[in-house]
Chains A and B, each alone.
Chain A
Amino acid sequence: MDFFFQLPLWIQGAVKGLAVIAVLFPLAAACSMAERKISAWIQGRPGPNRTVVPWLAGIPIIIPFLQRLGVFQLAADGGKFVFKEDVVPGHVNKLYFIAAPILAMIPALSTITIVPFGAYFDSAGQLVPLVLANVDIGLLAVLAISSLGVYSVILAGWASNSKYPFLGSIRASAQLISYELSMTLSVLPVFLWVNAPGGQGTLSLFAVVQAQSGTGFFNGLWLGIWMPVSAFIFLVALFAETNRQPFDMAESEADLVGGFHTEYGAFKWSLFFVAEYAHMIVGSGVFTLLFLGGWNPLPWIPLTRVVHGLSHWISFAGHPLFMGVLGVLIFLGKVGFFIFFFMWIRWTLPRFRYDQIMKLGWQKLLPLAIGNLVFYALLIALIQK
């Protein structure tokens, strides 16, 4: 670890960047596999279970298992996206048409660097978050960067120079902008709570998790229990921001064929696809950190305490690596549950109409978020007095 920090900064940055791509792409791929399998289970069908690499087919147990899981189907699909002819239709604005999928990937890949996914005690006994960039503006950076994602949708729809993508991108951009408001307002109570008056203010996501990792009644309480309305608004806005059903106005394939990416194919389409899953992963991660105690296993039972307790029984439990890995696993488990939740909703509910989404966003969620903010501002002021 020390060796890594002695490297020049640019090498550190490059390694971290590669790590993001190396982790996020397989995760997104795993999500798409999970999506297909979970939808299949929900709908009572087997899902992808045939594809297999011919010269691996003879290996017993493990290969049939992976085959039934659809792993090879996933690889084949990925390969298809890369090797398929990447058509650029004649009627598009080439520059923006090509820029749009790239712009979709940038916020998706950048925001994940700010999301902490675990913590460990270093040799000095200091709790250190596992995060690529522990910036103090934390959540603000996540919200700011992820809201740039709307440009890719607008550009894709505009550059396609075609009517369905145009309608889709207008719907999606209006929706994305509308729900950002409620989303931001819903997390303000969290930071009001975390930043006690007089102390040093922070928007760091690590600090939010720290505020949920105590053992006392209030500082061990997960904020999802303490602020259920905030959590609810954030979750609904998250569905809208990630363009997932029932808010998938960007696609709404029933009326707009494919929405903003109707004219896209091959690798450029797959970039949109990966970006959607990446947004889902980051969104679920942020929700877990804000409202579900991050890497802490249960409310009032923080990770540090579990590790401390385990170290009486298991000799290597005191090692920083153990705590780090355990925290990451717990965190990923919670994120995984939310990704499942996203898919569960998608394959159960119908889709809203565009005006209903706007009505819900502006007339229901936004007043609720403001009321929630005022309520908690007063309540927190009372408690902390």
Chain B
Amino acid sequence: MATDFAFPDTGAKSAAAVAAQEFQTEKMSLSMGPSHPSTHGVLRIQLELDGEIVTKADPVVGYLHRGDEKIAENMTYNQFVPYTDRLDYLAPLANNMAYAIAVERLAKLEVPARCQAIRVITAEMARISAHLLGLGAYGIDVGAWTVFLYAFTEREKLYKLFEELTGARFTTSYTRIGGVARDVPEGWTDRADAFCDQFLPILEQILNLLTRNKIFMDRTVDVGVISREDAIAYGLTGPNLRGSGVPLDLRKDKPYSGYEQYEFDVPVGAKGDCYDRYLVRGEEMRQSVRIIKQAIAKFPGGPWYATDAKKIFAPPKDKILTSMEELIQNFMLVTEGPQMPAGEVYFEAENPKGALGFYVVSKGGGVPWRLKIRAPSFCNLSILPKVCVGAMVSDVVSILGSLDFVMGECDR
């Protein structure tokens, strides 16, 4: 059907066409993920695009669901420790610690100072390792590959320390209820200290590649702005919340595992954009180094597990092999699990990705009746539909990188 235009000149014609909404184009739907280079695992975002502008973003989660919470109901407390490795698999040591402290609070058990210090050191190392990966992956998302490989060189050094301490590089399963799997090896704290010393200048080098880089700032400043109110309303935690200017850090506000003894600052962002979140993570690594160095400087001696908790923590191996009472104790622990009183407890720890919470309900015995995991990545992702709208396709990638989530924890 031909349209007759009353206007002779083309400018007026196109103006009329716009007025008649002739140029309004269709929106395109684009399924970003679950297998996509920048969705950090198996996140899928159903995007609705008007050209390059995102008009709607719908995160689809659950591709990595393994039913961890249900699994927990079918095994003893210690048997679940390896499953916590696989939540935020970039910081298994921090997950191990959060889980152990939750169950210990249920048992009203105090672990000795040495155990607390070991846990703090490992958790902060896990934080550095997780933030390094977040930084590197963020670098890739905005096109800077080299940052990723520099960060991985440092993570490799951390993995060497983890391997020496726990026997595993990746899935460490280091804590037990009431202690840790084994004491630190001879000289390990010195090597950890040496790592911290050489890490700081390298961290500056890595951050130098991005911090004042014009292209990086163009890609991140004022992109994905999360206001203070939104951050609180959507239940964001961790660096993403602090990036929006809320100085909430559970290590400071509700200290656990002896964090109150250490001096460190809580960095907060000013605007809540992708750049602020990047800066916060960078600064948190420096603060983690500070904490590790303090913990190593006053590393306490004494027992490294709760020696008085006979029904929770296994006795030393040499005692098991020589003494009847310890043999029975070990046998009961292995077969029935650590004995917990009936009750319920909720504990949140400041993990690299945010507040990782464990809600444990016990009816007594060695198996939790219900175990609920509050995954920070899951809550942090809930803001995607809000923050992605109006951004460009490339911005979605920046935003995803800056939120720094792990799908293993989100889908659990």
Q: Of the 9-residue stretches B118-126, B213-221, B243-251, which lies at the interface with chain A?
A: B213-221
Please tell me which stretch of A217-225, A293-301, A328-336, A342-350 contacts chain B, meaning at least 4 of its Cβ atoms lie within 8 angstroms of it.
Answer: A342-350
Given the complex, which residues of A lie within 8 Å of B397, measured CB to CB?
Answer: 254-255
State the Cβ distance, A161 to closest chain B Cβ, in Å: 13
A353–B218 Cα distance when bound, in Å, is: 8
Across the interface, do B52 and A254 meet the contact criterion of CB distance under 8 Å? no
In the complex the two chains form, is B215's CB within 8 Å of A349's CB? Answer: yes
CB of A44 within 8 Å of the partner chain: yes
Contacts of A248 in B (CB 8 A): 143
Interface residues of A in 244-276 (CB under 8 A from B): 245-246, 248, 252-257
> Which has the most chain B C-beta neighbours within 10 Å: A248, A255, A351, A356?
A255
Shortest beta-carbon distance from B404 to chain A in Å: 15
Closest to A246 in B: B215
- Which residues in A have their C-beta under 8 angstroms from that of B145? 39, 43, 347
Interface residues of B in 184-225 (CB under 8 A from A): 209-210, 213, 215-216, 218-219
- Chain A residues positioned under 8 Å from B143 (CB to CB): 245-246, 248, 252, 254, 349-351
| A contact residues around B209 at 8 Å (CB) | 348
**B188 to chain A: closest CB distance in Å?**
26
Q: Is A42 an interface residue (CB 8 A)?
A: yes
Tally A residues with Cβ within 8 Å of B: 28
Give the interface residue-count category, chain B. 20 to 34
Cβ of A352 within 8 Å of any chain B Cβ, yes or no, is yes
**Of the residues B30, B52, B140, B153, contact of A355 by C-beta under 8 Å:** B52
B52 touches A350 (CB 8 A): no
A residues 328-385 touching B (CB-CB < 8 Å): 347-356
- Stretch of B69-77, B373-381, B387-395 lying at the A interface: B387-395
| B140, A45: Cβ atoms closer than 8 Å | no
Q: Which residues in A have their C-beta under 8 angstroms from that of B216?
A: 350
Cβ–Cβ < 8 Å partners of B394 in chain A: 252, 254-255, 351, 353-354
CB neighbours (8 Å) of B149 from chain A are 43-45
Compute how far the CA of A255 lies from the CA of B153 in the bound complex, rounded to whole angstroms.
25
Interface residues of B in 165-184 (CB under 8 A from A): none
Instruction: Verify B52–A167 contact, CB threshold 8 A.
Output: yes
Q: How far is the CA of A269 from the CA of B52 in the complex (A)?
A: 26
Report Cα–Cα, A171/B397, bound state, in Å.
Answer: 16
Q: Is the CB of B395 within 8 A of A43?
A: no
Residues of A in contact with B (beta carbons under 8 Å apart):
39, 42-45, 163-164, 167, 171, 245-246, 248, 252-257, 347-356
Kindly list 6 other residue pairs between chains A and B, CB separation below 8 angstroms, not including A350-B139, A352-B215. Answer: A42-B146, A43-B150, A163-B28, A349-B215, A351-B394, A352-B218
4 smallest beta-carbon distances between A and B, as pairs: A351-B143, A43-B149, A350-B144, A350-B142
